[in-house]
Amino acid sequence: MAKEIKFSLVFRDMWQSAGKYVPRVDQLMKAAPVIVKMGCFDRVETNGGGFEQVNLLYGENPNQAVRKWTKPFHEAGIQTHMLDRGLNGIRMRPVPVDVRKLFYKVKHAQGTDITRTFCGLNDPDNIIPSIGYAHEAGMISQCCLCITSSPLHTVEYYTNLAYKLIEAGADEICLKDMAGIGRPVSLGKITKNIKDKYPQITIQYHSHAGPGFSMASILEVCENGCDFVDVGMEPLSWGTGHADILAVQAMLKDAGFKVKEVNMEAYMELRTIIQEMMDEWLGYYIPNRNRYMNSLLIAPGLPGGMMGSLMTDLADNLESLNKYKEKHGQPKMTQDQLMVKLFNEVAYVWPKMGYPCLVTPFSQYVKNAALMNVMQMEKGKERWSLIADDIWNMMLGKSGKLPGPLAPELVELAKEQGREFFTGNPQAEYPDQLDEFREEMKKNGWDCGQDDEELFELAMHPEQYRAYRSGKAKADFEADLAKRKAEKNSAKGGAMTFPQTVVVDVNGQKYQVVIGANDGSAAAAATQSAAPAVAGAAGEGTPLESPLEGKFYLRKNANDPAVNVGDAVKKGQTVCYVEAMKTFNAIAADRDGVITEICFKTGDSVSEDDVLMKIK
């Protein structure tokens, strides 16, 4: 009897792999019944990871989105699954135990069946607690092998990891080939080894299409016992996304597997709906390059889910770098030149940083370290001269055990900076916080929500949730979207003049927003004019400039102390942060003195060389 292979539509990851945002809840509700009507899916990926943060970023409640989005699939008998970053929950930084437990309780209550837990270090100590939390909440625990290719990441390595997770209680195993660089034959051997020892264990394969291995890998794992395959669909399949359901279904059917038929009328209907979503607004955040496959991705091994934001990061940093080059009489660099330099630097720094698997958040850490190195070296500075605290924490062992050793030069740099290595349980470094956040909800008059889901959002994403509740997130998003639309019209030959002022309505509150010129200069000026000094009048003193572009924060965590105007500070003391590419970069005082002016408010955008504060 032919073995049946079942399909899971990774609808959330399709969008994240292409660009920055996912559809609004009204758009999701339009797509859901058509996905059901396609008749070929037994599972749909509905939430997790970046999904809920980007809901907040454009001003939509993620809890309402998940409840409404999962309901039609449950009614149709289709299972829903979500991503869980283990120690990091669904954010970029470690999460306290009480918040992690509430996470599972809330998501199960909202309609999520399966939690797909992974750790970019493949540290079982970070994954195994989630098995218990999932079971306590009534969820299926699917644990991941984060697939990459290195001298350390062998068939034996992954086989033994799978055995350990299954023996710890995992219900299912996912081969999470997040960069699509797993080699087909090796993936087949890993699958066979698991099935030979644990034939009852369900195996699901997830791969991005970017480097070009995915179709061969899908066939290989299915030939060796895989049960579920993650797929995408046009117009968001292939490229940095996933293989298309039509191609995978036809390939497996020809190979003799039992597979469900695809309702082509529904496929074309959903394809049209996706394109309409892109045309309306989501396409403004999807770089064209992400729609192409590229075998240059084999060497750096960057994940498809990160490529959605990578090209945007490159464009922003290229603009900053070329401003520097122009100022110093140097020839400008193209995006292709910067991309190749970045890919080469990722391949260089990855083994030196201990071979963390390139998946969130560690893919961002390695990529950010590499990009900062490129930027600094292009400006005549030394490699490793700007490393964010989150990146240091990973290298010091505060996120779990690195797969490989840290390079001697980084060990020495840590010692020079007085940083201590950590060998304990990372979870112990993050005490429970729910009571603090519950008190904040009460103080602000915010309802904790059904099943404490609003409390969960604040605890998991404090800064994003506060910006959502204040209306700032939606105002910022609407302004950015208006700017992108204006720039596109200008590129088409429309007569556009800058700066322009648009009125944005957020929950009945109207905001005037200035849209800057294409070179960003007017936008930067508008940002500074909209963010007066905290002290009121301009202070005297030496400017402390931002070394990179990003968002300004006075503190990284809610309970951290923040400096104020009038505070005395010491040279080398952290006085603020610039969040860029999902990591917080500590900005230290460059002299002893007193803060006379703070030039930006928390969450404001800053450009490289902007004056963050003045110290006298």
pLDDT of residue 516: 44
The ranges of the chain with pLDDT < 50 are 495-504, 506, 510-537
SS3 545: strand
Decide: 584 and 388 in contact? Cβ < 8 Å.
Answer: yes
Decide: 254 and 222 in contact? Cβ < 8 Å.
Answer: no
Give the whole-angstrom CA distance, residue 28 versus residue 69. Answer: 6
Give the whole-angstrom CA distance, residue 213 versus residue 75. Answer: 35
Decide: 71 and 47 in contact? Cβ < 8 Å.
Answer: no
**Longest distance between any two alpha carbons in the chain, whole Å:** 81
Give the whole-angstrom CA distance, residue 38 versus residue 48. Answer: 23
Architecture of domain 533-615: Beta Barrel (2.40)
Supply the Cα-derived Rg of the chain in whole angstroms: 24
Give phi and psi for 540, each to the nearest 5.
-90, 165
Decide: 607 and 317 in contact? Cβ < 8 Å.
Answer: no
Return the structure tokens found at 597. Answer: 């002016």
CA 208 from chain centre, in angstroms, equals 15
pLDDT of residue 568: 93
Q: Characterize the bridge pairing of strands 228-231 and 202-207.
A: parallel
SS3 145: strand
pLDDT of residue 384: 95
% of the chain residues with pLDDT over 90: 65
pLDDT of residue 304: 67
- Portions of the chain given CATH number 2.40.50.100: 533-615
**b/e for 194-221, b at 16 or more Cβ within 10 A?**
bbeebeebbbbbbbbbbbebbbebbbbb
- Portions of the chain given CATH number 3.20.20.70: 6-286
Q: What is the pTM of this model?
A: 0.81
Give the amino acid at 518.
N
Q: What DSSP designation does 297 have?
A: G
Q: Regarding the domain with residue range 6-286, which homologous superfamily does it belong to in the CATH classification?
A: Aldolase class I (3.20.20.70)
